Chains A and B, each alone.
Chain A
Amino acid sequence: MQKENIIEVRGLKKTFKKYERGAGLKSALKSVFKRKYKTVEAVKDISFSVKKGEILGYLGPNGAGKSTVIKMLTGVLYPEKGEIRCLNYAPWDEREKYVKNIGVVFGQKSSLWWELPPVDTYKLYKEMYEISDYKFNKNLKYMIKLLDIKDVSKTPVLKLSLGQRMRCEFISSVLHEPKILFLDEPTIGLDIFAKEKIRQFIKKINREKGTTVILTTHDISDVEELCDRIIIIDKGEHIFEGTIQELKNKYVCEKKIYVEFDEKPGRIKLSDCRVIRYDAWSADVFVDLKKRKVKEVVSELFRKYYISDITISEESVENIIKRIYLEAEKK
């Protein structure tokens, strides 16, 4: 069955004016009337769509335009050019109705009241999103357990650890069971334990409630564990769109074979391979996949040398993405 598109974006563009402003009242007053600025093309011309129930990883180096896109998708920023349909709404024009159906977590901005326990904020959102008592209590209990949160009812937010706080932040954005969840760097600065809890949580609500998730992150393991599909953006333009497997197919051109020898092999000679030796007893063999199959190289190795152990590994996704960023940087 073909799933429907829940988000559709066509020809999206956003330019910022960067004002040059001095400090102090005088220059501030001046800046109201006469202002110098540079323009920054944060998002150039972007089109894509997201299907219902998908988890999309939205990746890119710092300043690539991820947050700008997320802010336009969530109705915060006015899209300068192009068209956005989310859940059949135009996010900016129909903001108030639209945002009732979405949840958003900005990893660097808290939406909880610092001086009060999280539960006070939750109660506020209960009224805001018109959540019934039954649904509120059920969801809250379920999420506290799932995210392994210690105390939401007594401790003020400012006294929580970052890991606990982010988990509380998540609850505040999904209590109303949003159809789409936007996550802008939600795991930034968290320890492995908190990260893991949050990943499990995202997976669960995606599976159980069919929530569509758009995730930006710098943590590639988030992406590998969660995302069905990724988009890579750089300098405001998409430079890759597809599954992780498609990313590998497109960009991985080498595999590594680590070999340990029973007997010193002397000089190693293999065609279409790079061989790096660190000592007499072992070597890294990089196979150029465009020219040879790994299988062939392995059997050649066994034929020619006395081998005690062998490990085949491919380039990590993290490394691939790093390479893509670097290549884009050169252009």
Chain B
Amino acid sequence: MGIKKYTAYIGIEFKHSISHRSLLIAKIVAIPLSIFVMVAIWNAIYLNNDAEIIGYFTKEQMVNYSILSVIGSYLLANRSDMELGRIIRNGKLTNELIRPNQYYLVQFFKSLGFRTADFVVAAPISIALGVIFFGFKQYDYVFTLMSVLSFSLSFLLIFLFNMIFGLIAFKVIDYDNFGWLKNTLVSFFSGGIISLSVFPLFFQNTMMFLPFQHMLYTPIRIFVGGYVLEQCILFIFVQAIWVVSMFFIMKFGWKMAVKNFSGVGT
């Protein structure tokens, strides 16, 4: 059983993504701009409140959090659900099902391929700009390493969540509305807009039982030194449990959906 037939998708999607060169350029402009706005807002908030710490974070941590949340939102963003909606609508899912493949693996490696250009170009540029202009800094090698591990799990988690949520596309004509709604909610509940640490405690405690904070908030908070070591290990473990459970939910949901798939379009 070759993995090569799937990894080949990384290459072709990479080529595909750089054939949309303007998109990459747009990101290189958009990411630093968003970072600039976020940092400016937090600077103002800390200044106005005359506070040392807001929601467990010092100003420096908050600035770093904001930088990483902007970059992370872009890098971890995943359009697998929208893509599924699109190919169900235009009938191309049929083309996928006649291939000796598992669709979720194809889609996973395509996502990796599509993000490659972002990983190697947009992210380093953004981080470099963050270091130069906003004093972005690394806290501790151990935390950074754990954060990278946690980010990888987030990538998987977001992918799997999208593949599961995207199954709605089998039931509705225009999935995109659902997709946008979900993206907005996930972005909020995962700490992509504002760090979850600034919210009331009961809200934070509720979020602990949901997968969303593990999609972005957890790895960033680990990076900025917002957790002690034991907490880091615990949360990475929780992430892994979510990944495994979602994998099985996705497999089961997909099987049911394809069984009822009616192959729209002729």
Contacts and interface: CB of A to CB of B under 8 A. Distances in A.
Interface string A104-116: 1010111101011
Given A77-B261, A108-B91, A123-B8, 6 more contacts: A25-B181, A28-B178, A67-B263, A76-B97, A76-B261, A96-B101
Among all A-B residue pairs, the 3 with the closest Cβ atoms: A127-B8, A100-B100, A128-B5
Interface in A20-65: 21, 23, 25, 28, 31-32
Interface of B: 2, 4-5, 7-9, 12, 15-16, 19-20, 90-92, 94-95, 97-102, 168, 171-174, 177-178, 181, 258-263, 265-266
B217 to A, nearest CB: 28
A128 B177 contact: no
Contacts of B92: 109
A239 interface: no
Nearest to B8: A127
B12 A113 contact: yes
Contacts of A77: 261-263
A81 interface: no
A152 interface: no
A75 B95 contact: no
Task: Give the bracket for the number of chain A residues in contact with chain B.
Answer: 35 or more
B94 A120 contact: no
Interface of A: 16-17, 21, 23, 25, 28, 31-32, 67-68, 71, 74-78, 95-97, 99-100, 102, 104, 106, 108-111, 113, 115-116, 120-121, 123-124, 127-130, 156, 184
Contact of B265 (A23, A108, A129): A108
A28 B172 contact: yes
Contact of B98 (A28, A32, A76): A76
B196 to A, nearest CB: 27
A126 to B, nearest CB: 8
Nearest to B9: A124
A124 B8 CA distance: 6
Given A16-B262, A77-B261, A77-B263, A109 B100 contact: no
Contacts of B168: 32
Contact of B95 (A78, A106, A123, A130): A106
Contact of A102 (B7, B98, B266): B98
B262 to A, nearest CB: 5
A28 B20 CA distance: 32
B2 A120 contact: no
Nearest to B16: A115
Contacts of A99: 97-100
Contact of A124 (B12, B94, B98): B12
A78 B256 CA distance: 11
A184 B2 CA distance: 30
A109 B265 contact: yes
Q: Which of B16, B98, B178, B258 has the most CB of A within 10 A?
A: B98
Contacts of A106: 94-95
A109 B98 CA distance: 12
A128 B94 contact: no
A123 B12 CA distance: 9
19 contacts: A21-B173, A23-B173, A32-B171, A67-B263, A71-B94, A76-B263, A78-B258, A78-B259, A78-B261, A106-B94, A109-B90, A109-B91, A116-B12, A116-B16, A120-B12, A121-B12, A128-B101, A129-B100, A130-B5
A76 B94 contact: yes
A331 B5 CA distance: 51
B103 to A, nearest CB: 10
B172 A21 contact: yes
A28 B15 CA distance: 36
B178 to A, nearest CB: 7
Contacts of A75: 97-98
A129 B4 CA distance: 10
Nearest to A76: B97
Contacts of A113: 12, 16
A96 B104 CA distance: 13
Contacts of B178: 25, 28
A76 B95 CA distance: 9
